[in-house]
Structure 1
Amino acid sequence: MCTNSGLAWTSSPLSHSLCYLQTTTEREQIVLLSVLGVPHATLRQSLTALGANGTILDQYSSTDIHHSLGGAGHESALHDTHPKGPDHSGHVTGERGERQLDVEMENLNLKEIKGDAIKVGKLLVRSQRTKGSKQWEILRDSGSAGEWRATAATIVAEYNGYTFGLYDNTNGNIVETVTLAGTYRTSVQIDDESLFDKKYCFHLNTGHQGTLYFTVDSADDRNAWLSALKTVTQPEIFGPVALGTPLYFRAVRMFWIRVTEAKDLAPASYYCSVLLDDMVRAKTPIRLGTNGNNCPFWKEEFLFTDLATFYSGVAIGLYTTSKGRKDVLAGQAIVPIPTLRRGEAYEGWYPVLGTLGGSQFQPEASASGILRAQTPINHQGPADSGHQPTLVPVGSLRLKLRYDEIVVLPSAKYQPLLALLVDYRNNLIFDLATVTKNVEWLSETLLKIFLSKNLAAPWFDYLAVHEVSHTDDHNILFRGNSVLTKSLDAYMKIVGLSYVEETIGTLIRNICHYRVMCEVDPAKLPAGDDVAAQWKILLLYVRILWSSIEQSKPRCPSELRLIFSRLRKVIEDRFGHHADPNAVSTARYTCVSGFFFLRLICPAILSPKQYGLVKDNPEPKVHRTLTLLAKSVQCLANLSEFGAKEPHMFPMNEFVMENSAALMEFIDFIATESDDNGLHRPHMDSPPGSPRIQLLAERQNFQPPTAPYLVDLDKELAALAFFVTRHRAELQKLEPHAHHPPQVMTRLINECDQLNRITRACWASGLLESTQHPTIGPHMD
């Protein structure tokens, strides 16, 4: 219950919300709202909306609120860990990417760097203190306990290649120098957030110098470093293939896995590690058996791209963990990569093998002993009779996985195809969309191609004009799954995830953490529950949610503001002379809010795990709370009220009416292109990456992915060429009714046929570990 002297939290999941209903002072209202993690400006607005005096905030500092919550220990449980800047030794801490990299660069005498520096920046490197001293050393093992150390980093061009250097930010001394000659692009990899519980991590596998792990503040910073490092390292090349003129090619590998559940285990707490070539790349959360059995459930998905040739293969390590004791590797399930058909999904129970008698498990020995014979239990395959006799089954893991390996030709081979595609006025895109069941895959592939050539803005313009010109009723605009809607969905996720995190992340995490359960449908409420009290809780949260969104408009990515402004102009040009000016005025808002809210904000509220806001899916009753919040915000975004279909939501109409004007003001702002002051220039209107690195990339026969989006253009073109060849018969039938001149489709099909003939010759050369021609997979159909 709540008292005037402070808050005493009960064990009820709704205690911190119900506390609001019991408060008698405005101070306690402030304390409650502070639990939600919102700033003072938002608190003042929310309190005013609730009828409280917002000026009371000026009488209480954040320290007062902190003490009301019960001290430091309690505060840390209520909020995300706040970032700490570097201390005097240069160490930086913080969780979930909310740290500030503030490396003191003035101590570094960069003039002493020999050679031509093509990139200088800030990186946090994983490190540990040397025992008995204030010195520190770089950690080269992801499993060791460590911390993140702020450093300055450089990539320097020298007479014999490139070097990567790390400098101590406190004294400017060189910490590590890596000669990049002979290093492959595939040695530079993005790390899954689960590995260190941090976003924006990546590593450089230097070979004899071990693996260096880094983190930065944003996806843009990470991608800039990845692009630079992949530009100055070399692609993994295969060849020559005898095709008249000797031809070389590269292979792009991707591995996706879902670790679903385990069974037949001894009682314990378990988690899994995903190992690629004996290197831990991702981890599941710790789980106990469910419903009293020993079947932990995870359903965690991981994707690894741009992989090197496999040597040891893929293993899933199953670990037991207990408080105060070192984690123990119970056993491993081995994924037989050589037996997998490229591009096809496999799902089944994979045996987990451990050592007899619980002796120390040797992962390398077990992997080599069972790799060739192990297959899913419910799939056909030869029985394993040759594994080591000391290995015994300790359980099974249910896995779903997919391995892709795509042959990619030199960049010059794709230039004719690229020229056809970027000339979007030939309307080929719309015909390609008619022959696939998965417009999402096609749209995302095309988006990446246009992003890599800085043509996303005019491309979106053309898609919007095409879709609007074929629609007479503005009320049904952008409702279907078209190339425009799917492309813009993907684009908003690319450029808007950080914005979503900053805007609603803390609130959503706290709702999930405190298990806020709110139900306003009397038919679903338990007998005796007060629906009026539930409404007071829901209105409190929806006001705070909307306030957080409304105040975020200056932070709306300039890329989205540019697209929204052009989208609105297309609507005005098409329906500006409509007989009903009020309807056109409404369409000016709903055409933008339909994308921003329906396809970005509300999906993030409903599926916070998919958007990186939380680590686990909310439990059902908490998800119901999020559903009500999303439904309420979406109703506001539609500039409509709840009707007879949902009479229990009528009380929310007051909130909608109160905030409709603010909603239109918000849309007006985010649908106005930001001033081009050089500070917020959209990526799509500026060269991707630094000009120097971009120039180096363009000179290479096998062009690397470029910042800020890390698009592997040649890989996307290779996949699209295969798609066209696969659907050539359907595309040829479309010609009499096509949007394009007949000769354009013929050129497209002929070009893709030629590319795929060369690609098949590369597969048939036997230079890769598998000679079967891959399928790109059912997701392209």
Structure 2
Amino acid sequence: SGSSDPYCVVKVDNEVVARTATVWKSLNPFWGEEITLLLPRGFHSLTIYVLDEDTIGQDDVIGKVSLSHQQISAEPRGVDSWLSLAPVNPDQEVQGEIHLELRVPERGHPRVLRCHLIEARDLAPRDASGTSDPFGRVSCCGHTLETAVMKKTRFPRWDEVLEFELPEGELGEAVLSVEVWDWDIVGKNDFLGRVEFLLDTLCPGSTRGWFHLQPFPSTTEDHGGQLGALRLAVRLLEDTVLPSHHYQPLIQLLTEPILCPAQPPEGTALAVLEEVTSGESRQDVASKLVKLFLGQGLAVPLLDYLTTRELARTTDPNTLFRSNSLASKSMEHFMKVVGLPYLHEVLKPVVNHIFEEKKYVELDPGKMELSRGRRISFKGSLSEAQVRESS
């Protein structure tokens, strides 16, 4: 048909956390959706997949954009740009971790490297049953060994030790490669992830831990740029939260003008904070203040206080609340925190009912389908009131 029905799926470390609405029959969709996620501090990547929804059969994957934790955190103001969609390669869609213990002898002849494959967890499902048949493949110094196959599991436990004799002298750029594969009785095995270690970087003795599985390095052919681009605005906020008693002096200082309104307003901590807050950080300061005062049960008095100060400073009524002020930003965030759940509770049943009915409703005659216009033309033209009543 020359068009698509695109939507986006958001994954964090290959776990689906959000989905956008579908934009029907468009090659230039606009979603305009803002998604807030609470992420674990140790997450590795954020990936957005663009798919084409099909009413019959499986949805088609158009492409993806992937951002690593390092890429996002390196931009304090966030990533805001057009990013080319990359094709989705099954060998790049890996997830999970592997538990290894590596023993490198400091000296001796022969020097034997012992790689203990203990277990893996949360591997990608490659079989139709939603599981995999994983086995480990370890390569070092031109030799390759494999573990046994664990059937129908994404959490295999091998507990096998594979040994490799190291060459004499300097190891140079010798690499220990640990790969996990899904065994298939018919066809080729499916790649599940890999971990690599430079032997020179391994400390003599024992190294043990969980290691995040990585995909094969992408090649230049993987990024043709012919799949379109996705405009993203991504910002990572990392907060360190201490026990509540550490914040009591600050809370008392900030709530003082609310609890003691007789105090002169200009010398309060809130007034000083409002004066020194820059335009770029005002949104963040407002969100933190609203959350803090909500926790104290003083959100409404806070908004009254900030609004009163805004009214006192505004000389032209036409510009009231149009400035990028702490009062306007605080009110905006308060409505998101409090008003959004209210709208969901009130409007969600109505919106769901409209979708379930699947009735054709269009009040603009210019947008009505020609075929439907012909069907109803012999009945005479319908007024807007009649359309609303029959829908």
TM-score range with shorter-chain normalisation?
0.3 to 0.5
* TM-score, normalization by structure 1: 0.26
* TM-score, normalization by structure 2: 0.47
Whose helix fraction is larger, Structure 1's or Structure 2's? 1
